[in-house]
Structures are given as C-alpha cells and as structure tokens.
Structure 1
Amino acid sequence: MNNNDSSLWQWQETDNGNYLTCQLLKDWQHGFFSSHFQGKLPEMLVKHLNPSASIYRLKQIHSDILLSTDKVDFLKQDADLVEGDGIITQKPLQSVWAASADCTPVLIADRATGKVTAIHSGWRGTASKIVPKAIDLLKSQGSKEENLLFALGPAIHGKVYQVDKPVAIKVLKTIINEDLEDNLIIEKGYQLNHQPILPDEEENKVKLNVTQVINLQIQQQNIPVDNISIAPYCTYQTPEFFFSYRRTKQKNVQWSGIVSL
C-alpha cells in the first residue's frame, strides 16, 4: 500500500494565497497554510475554515505534551499561551492549530466521534513519541484505531535533512523494538520501509526523514495504511510555498488547522 499518493492533496485558492487540503480529511474543514499567509495567526486564518469555530493554539516547545481543549481553557486562566505540542478537541466547532517551519504538522480526525487533533512533531517530539501518545489518549477517550485518519503535512524531506547519528538513533529507537547497539540501529534503519534514514557523505551524519518515522510509528499502532496520507511537499525544497528554518535560519512559521465536527 502507498500512503504517498499525491493526488489526495489539493491546493485551495483564496484572495490571500493558497493552502493545502487532504482528501482523507474531506469531511472536516482544515488547511495546511502556505507562506502566503505570513504573519497571520489562527485568529485570522480560521475564517478560511469556519469563522464560527473557537481557536486553540499552544506555545510549542518540542515536547510530548498533549492537552485537551478543556485543559487549555482551564490553564489559560493563568497564561496567554499554554505550553505543549498537541491539542485534542472535546466539543464540536473547535479549531486546533500547529505551527511548523520544517517539523511535521499532523492533523488527526476521528470519523466516528468527529473530534480532531493538531500536533507539532519535529525530531524531538517524534523521539518522545508524541503521535503514538496521542493515539493512546484518543483510544482512552473512546476512539477506535480503524476510525482515526492522519494527514501529515509539508515538512523537510529526508533527502535534505542532515542530522548527527545520535539524533537519528534516538528517533529510530521509537520504531525499532530491538535491543541493538547504536551502530546496528543505524544499519537496521537503512533497511526499513519508507526510508526513515538515508546515508550521508559526511562522517557521523545521516539524512533523517522525520515524517516517515511518524508514518511508521502510526502503522505500528495498528492504524491501517489507507488511513494515513503524507503531503507531497518538502518545506526546504519548495521556497515558493513554505518557510524552512533549515533553508533561511529565520523564525517564520506556517500554520495547520482543523475544525471538529
């Protein structure tokens, strides 16, 4: 099965610019917004999805912290932005958002309950298994694996994302469930489906495909492959549509959001 089917992804045109949608999430108002919307926060972007939806976003810290919208409401009494990297809706018409510049934005929808989740997962979040933890949390709230749908948005591609081997090993350990020495984990990583890592010409470096690690993490949680779709765009290699911190070293972001049914 192939969850890299680019035909599932479409550009939506607005007066402000273009944003991406994924056919897998067609029943939900959602969008992976491009750099055309620079400087616009979810408070403004939500009008492209549903102006009636309430807005939830976090102060992202590259963690595995997942919060319900109820918990965000409770914690917001003490701070403007609550820290964390994933939000799960509890009520209809709640929009949840993730900001990214090379990290993978993950939007999850439950076709039985209508609830949705937005996650920011860079290599640190991926190493701490934020997406598998979200699946466990959703299941504890009544979701079933076969009803969960995953759209993995534009992120830096493995072919251009050089990291130190210790970083790759930390991330690979989340999908290689064997007690192996570090050098064998790298070797095993080269053999896995979807090429989560690729060789690099520089010593002690590899190329890391974080999105494909997340893809494998999701599949290892008994999610059907057909329930996962990966955006066919690399933030680093598509400067006309996406910010990339790796490319420019500037702290710009693009937002991804989804509204609960």
Structure 2
Amino acid sequence: MNHVWSWSTWEGQPYLTTDLLSPWPHGFFTAQSWPQTPETLTPGLASPAMVYRAQQVHGNRIVQPEDFPPGVSVDPLAVNGMETLTPPRPEADGVMSTAAGQALWVCSADCTPALIADGETGQAVAVHAGWRGTAQKIVPLAIARMQAQGSDLADLRVALGPAIAGQVYQVSTQVAVEVGRSLLGEDAETEEAAILKHLSQGEAPPILPDPQPGRVRLDVRRILARQLTQLGLEAEQVAIAPHCTYQEPERFFSYRRTKEKKVQWSGIVSC
C-alpha cells in the first residue's frame, strides 16, 4: 500500500505528514524551522502538550517521561517556549509516551526519524535511527517496549521520515555488514561477503553496489523496513517518506552533504 505524504504549513514553516498517522498530531519539519526547538514547534502540532526530547547518542536506549529530571519537560505555553531550568537530558535515541498529550521529538540530519503509534491505545514513540542505532535494533526495541505496555503488533503504525537515500549513502563494507547483521539470526552465516550478497538481493535491496573498492551504498530505511517485516508488521503498517535529505538541499539539512551540525525536528503527540 502506498501511503499519502502531504505538506502542511504552520506560521510559514512547512512540515511533512502522512495519512498513516493522521489520528496523531505529528510532523517532520524541515531546515526552514532552524534554529527553533520542539518547545516552540509543538504548538504547531498540538496545544497544550508537554515536550520531551532526549540527548541523542546514536544508541538504542528508549526513555519515558518519568526518566526526565524535573525542569526538562517544559510546557511551551507556560513559559513561552523557553526552558528556565537546565538539568541534563537523559541520553537516549527514543522517547515513548505514557499518557495522552505528550509531545515526543527527535532530531536528524541524514539519520532516519521514526514515529511509531498505537491505534488502540494512542501511545506513541519518536525514534532517532542512524546506522548505529539501526544495527542495535532501536526500532524493534521500541516496539518491544510498547508491547510490554500492552500494545499489539496489529495496532501499530510506523512512519519513517526523510533521511539519506541508499543511492547516495556510501559506507564501508564493515558498516554495511554491522547493520546487516541486525536482520540475520544468530546461527546464520556471518562472513562479510555472504552478508553483503544476501542484502543485495530481492526487491528494493537495502545495499547497492558502489564503484569504490571496500564501499557500498546503504539504505537504512530499507533495513528498518525489513526489521519491521521480521517482527510481523504488514506493509500497510509502514510508510516511508519519498524524500532524501542529501538530494534535497532546498528542504533539508544533510551532515553528509555539508558537514554542518544543523538538524531538522520530527515530532508526534500521543492521543
């Protein structure tokens, strides 16, 4: 099933949405929102809502609101979007809701922002999935956390936002193999050549050839889609944004393209 992706605008700032997540206020914002933060962007999605964003570290930890020190979660309406306290944010690459009205955010500049929602409970998770987090199965771990809190796989919806596309994402074969092992069982053949061959086959392969020796092209979103299929999600439960951060400089920051440490934000509000 091909899900519909649409552009919306809030105060002149474009953001991308998908019909798959239509019950949840959500948005994949662009470079035009820089240098705003989730505290100022959240009113564009839902108001009021409590804002949660972690200190991203390219790992696979998932946190919940109770993991945040007092003062980190800020009501943007109460303080005009400005944080008045500065305790350290928890180090994590995923934030999961525990109640309605919680705005969950991640930032990215080539990595994949994944927004996950439960159509039965209204629960949501925002995940930052770079190649390292994908190799550590952060999205399957987020779904496992949701299941532990009562979610059924059949009720889940996953949107993978704008990220660098496989056609232009050159990585070493070692990186590709590390990510690819996330799709293989413990007893599977683990030699590098065998893994690369396996991942280069089939429809929409996540690994493409590269003319430079020792390099391949890696499509992280295709790896994530295969991880979700292995968990038991159907194709209609997953939407992949038709946008590449590297190839669309007019819309998105790309660290691979410019080496600038600028990001775009993606958020979802639990129902």
Q: Same fold (TM over 0.5)?
A: yes
Structure 2 counterpart of 1:154: 162
Determine if the alignment matches structure 1 residue 43 to structure 2 residue 39. Answer: yes
Task: Give the structure 1 partner of residue 6 of structure 2.
Answer: 10
Do the aligned residues in 2 keep the contact of 1:110 with 1:147 (CA within 8 Å)? yes
C-alpha displacement of 1:73: 4.6
* Corresponding residue to 1:30 among 26, 31, 36: 26
CA distance in 2, matches of 1:220, 1:228: 13
In the alignment, which residue of structure 2 is the partner of 1:136?
144
Counterpart residue identity of residue 254, structure 2? S
Query: What is the rounded CA distance, in whole Å, between the counterparts of 1:198 and 1:33 in structure 2?
Result: 28
| Counterpart for residue 19 of structure 1 | 15
Shift of 1:121: 0.3
Q: Out of 194, 198, 203, which is 1:193 matched to?
A: 203
> 2:189 & 2:149 partners in 1: Cα distance?
32
Contact 2:114 2:158 (C-alpha < 8 Å) held by counterparts: yes
Matched, 1:184 2:199: no
Q: Which runs of 5+ in 2 are unaligned?
A: 73-84
| Equivalent residue in structure 2 for 1:111, among 93, 97, 119 | 119
| Residue pairs, 1:205-244, within 5 angstroms | 205-244=215-254
Overall identity of the aligned pairs, in %? 42
Q: 1:75 to 1:220 in 2, by over 3 A?
A: farther
Q: Deviations over 1:13-53 (max 9, x none)?
A: 23332100010000000000011101000000001001200
1:61 to 57, 67, 80: 57
Over 3 Å counting, the alpha-carbon distance change for 1:42 and 1:75 in structure 2 is: closer
Bigger drift between 66-75 and 129-138 goes to 66-75
Offset at residue 175 of structure 1 (A): 1.1
Number of residue equivalences: 257
In structure 1, distance between residues paired with 2:70 and 2:220:
32
Q: Distance in 1 between matches of 2:87 and 2:165?
A: 35
Is 1:124 matched with 2:124?
A: no
**Which residue of 106, 110, 116 maps to 1:102?**
110
Shift of 1:119: 0.2
The AA in structure 2 aligned to 1:103 is C
Equivalent in the alignment of 1:86: 94
Maintained 8 Å contact 2:253/2:264: yes
Structure 2 length-normalised TM:
0.91
Deviation at 1:150, TM superposition (A): 0.2
Q: 1:40 to 1:192 in 2, by over 3 A?
A: same
1:74, CA displacement in angstroms? 6.7
Aligned residue type for 1:39: P
- Give the ranges of 4+ consecutive aligned residues of structure 1 lying more than 6 Å apart after TM superposition: none
In structure 2, what is the Cα distance between the partners aligned to 1:134 and 1:14? 29
CA distance in 1: counterparts of 2:93 and 2:35, whole angstroms = 20
Q: Provide the secondary structure at the position in 2 that maps to 1:191.
A: coil
Aligned 8 A contact 1:105 1:121 in 2: yes
Query: How far did 1:75 drift?
Result: 10
Distance in 1 (alpha carbons) for counterparts of 2:46 and 2:199: 42
Using the TM superposition, give the Cα deviation of residue 210 of structure 1 relative to its aligned residue in structure 2, in angstroms: 0.4
Q: 1:236 to 1:78 in 2, by over 3 A?
A: closer
TM-score scaled to structure 1, two decimals?
0.95
The answer to whether the aligner puts 1:256 opposite 2:266 as a matched pair is yes
